[in-house]
Chain A
Amino acid sequence: MYKKIFLTVISIILGLVFALQYQTVKNESGEIITTKKASELAYELRQVEEEKEKLLLELDEIEDKLREYEESTSIENSYIKNLIEELNKYKLMAGIIDVEGEGIILTIDNPSADTQFNDQTNNLIYNYEYLLLIISNLNAAGAEAISINGQRYTSYTEIVPVGSHLNINGVSFVPPFEIKVIGNRQTLQSVINFKGGVVWEMQNLNYKIDIELKDNIKIERYMKPINFKYAEPINEDS
């Protein structure tokens, strides 16, 4: 009799343990599925990234060839040489060519955690207007090319918060942001350091901002093709 009760108790406990385990696993089965999915996605991502690398190389090759053609003729014909120079100037302005020159590098980061008091309202992602203002100020100081975390700032560049990221040219970023600017270093620096200006204001809010003056900065071009669907040019006399 004693034995039977003992057995019953054990069985009940076992049953409970079983049910618990089963339940736990079932509850987290979302994760079980996502794990499998994660590894699949990671694999897919690796493949797509490889493809991207390959395409980048291919693009470089084609562009090298194009340049060779341009150069081989431009030596002979100064008119063509001028045309190519003009083309490069417009390409530079459109942001579709790599550029280099003197300038500054700004690094902007969120206030450190201890000054935030768990308050996320001063996260740069929700205050991205500051980035727009900084770009405006840099342009006022005669910036000739700007990139943010490697994304060239063009006439088609958006800076928008998406969830907990900031999308720039469709690519997601989180702080810190590195803004590279080509232009007259002194002018750029004094506009950025202007007392009462946007950077001054941000520093008062404990944002971490570094300015570096550089002799030579390289800024990459915009990588997306732009096709106008709605706009058409009028009087294209040049």
Chain B
Amino acid sequence: MIIKNKIFIFIISFLVGITIMMQINNDAKNFTFANVHTVNRISNQLKTTNEDVEDLKQLIKIKSNKLYEYKENINNDKDLIELLKREIINAKVRAGLTDLRGEGILIRMNDNPEDTGNNINFDIVHDVDLSVIVNDLINAGAEAISINGKRVVSISEIVCVGPLIKVNGEGIAAPFVIKAIGNKENLAASINAPNTYGYKIKNYYGIEVTTLESEHILIPKYNVEVNINTAKPILEEGE
């Protein structure tokens, strides 16, 4: 009886020992070095890299087509000139040097008309307000943006000069009319949805922000002479 008991306890202890070792081993070897943050980071990175790959594939496709066209036309100067002219038009469209039309929205922003007795700075539309609104529109997929008829491009400034705001070298004053071409629902949401910048300045500071969706928005080209003196294109991939 006693011996039987001892054997029984021996076997149980043995099993328990093995189980505990397995458990500890498991824990130490494989499951220590990652947590939710790491996974989030990696999956984010994976997502952006995947997008990059998609973009690159598209670029390569476009360029290969171009190369093919060049090959076809290399013996014929006239065709090459046609090709270049077409490319110039494309590049101009991308640089903001053509008038554009399409569906989009119109935003009117004006200073708070009421006498709030607050700091006057809270009642007026600042350069930074316009910058953030423009940035929000770009984020919502705007394809072209203008403020009071001034096309906003990569080299446009939106800076405060006394009572005016200077855009593309010219002063503009409130009320500001911002036009954007793109998906009109998305664009309007980027201004009106709760917690957006547009919503905040409208509801907390009383700045007038009204949006109007439209099927036909016209946006003029960047109409300042482009003088590029310092920046030179790098044409050779020379290392």
Q: Is the CB of B31 within 8 A of A132?
A: no
The verdict on B114 contacting chain A, using a C-beta distance below 8 Å, is no
Measured between beta carbons, the chain A residues less than 8 angstroms from B139 are 158, 160
Assess whether A69 is interfacial by the CB under 8 Å rule.
Answer: yes
A233, B100: Cβ atoms closer than 8 Å:
yes
Interface pick from A77-85, A110-118, A204-212: A77-85
Are B50 and A48 closer than 8 Å at their CB atoms? yes
The majority secondary structure among interface residues of chain B is helix
A140 interface contact, C-beta 8 A: yes
Question: Given that A59-B60, A133-B131 are known contacts, is A52 also in contact with B157, CB under 8 Å in the complex?
Answer: no
Contact of B58 among A49, A79, A225 (CB under 8 A): A225
Confirm or deny: B108 has a beta carbon within 8 angstroms of a beta carbon on chain A.
no
Asked if A150 is an interface residue, CB under 8 A from chain B, the answer is no
User: Do A62 and B64 touch (CB < 8 A)?
Assistant: yes
What residues of B have a CB within 8 angstroms of the CB of A101 in the complex? 230-232
Q: A120 at the A/B interface (Cβ < 8 Å)? A: no
In the complex, which residues 72-110 of chain A have their Cβ closer than 8 Å to any Cβ of chain B? 72-73, 76-77, 79-80, 83-84, 86-103
User: Which residues of chain A are within 8 angstroms of B42 by Cβ–Cβ distance?
Assistant: 38, 41-42, 45
What residues on B are CB-neighbors of A86 within 8 Å? 88
* A152 to B, closest residue via Cβ: B154
A28 → B minimal CB distance (Å):
8
Contact A157/B154 with A45-B49, A230-B143 known, Cβ cut-off 8 Å: yes
Does B92 lie within 8 Å of A238, measured CB to CB?
A: yes
Q: Bound state CA distance, A67 and B91, in angstroms?
A: 16
Which chain A residues numbered 145 to 166 have a C-beta less than 8 Å away from chain B?
A: 145-146, 153-160
CB <8 Å contact, B152 and A31: no
Q: Which of A18, A62, A155 contacts B96 (CB 8 A)?
A: A155
* Least CB separation from A167: chain B residue: B139
Main secondary structure of the interface of A (DSSP, over half): helix
Indicate which residue in B91, B145, B233 contacts A99 across the interface (CB closer than 8 Å).
B233
Q: Is the CB–CB distance between B46 and A171 below 8 Å?
A: no
* Interchain CB contact (< 8 A) of B59 among A32, A80, A160, A223: A223
Answer whether A62 and B67 are a contact pair too, CB < 8 Å, given A129-B131, A158-B138, A236-B89. yes
- Checking B58, B62, B81 against A83 with a beta-carbon cut-off of 8 angstroms, the contacting residue is B81
The interface residues of chain B lying within 8 Å CB-to-CB of A233 are: 89, 93, 98-100
CB neighbors of B among A60-76 (8 A): 60, 62-67, 69-70, 72-73, 76
Cβ of A1 under 8 Å from chain B = no
Q: Mark B28-55, 1 if CB is under 8 A from A, else 0.
A: 0011111110110011111011111101
Interface residues of B in 57-81 (CB under 8 A from A): 57-60, 62-64, 66-67, 70-71, 74, 77, 80-81
Closest B residue by C-beta to A97: B233
Q: List 13 A-B contacts (CB under 8 A).
A: A31-B36, A35-B31, A48-B53, A66-B63, A66-B66, A69-B74, A92-B233, A98-B233, A137-B157, A155-B138, A172-B44, A182-B231, A238-B89
Residues of B that sit less than 8 Å from A by CB: 9, 16, 19-20, 23, 26-27, 30-36, 38-39, 42-46, 48-53, 55-60, 62-64, 66-67, 70-71, 74, 77, 80-81, 84-85, 87-89, 91-104, 127-128, 131-132, 135-136, 138-139, 143-145, 152-159, 166, 181-183, 218-219, 226, 228-237
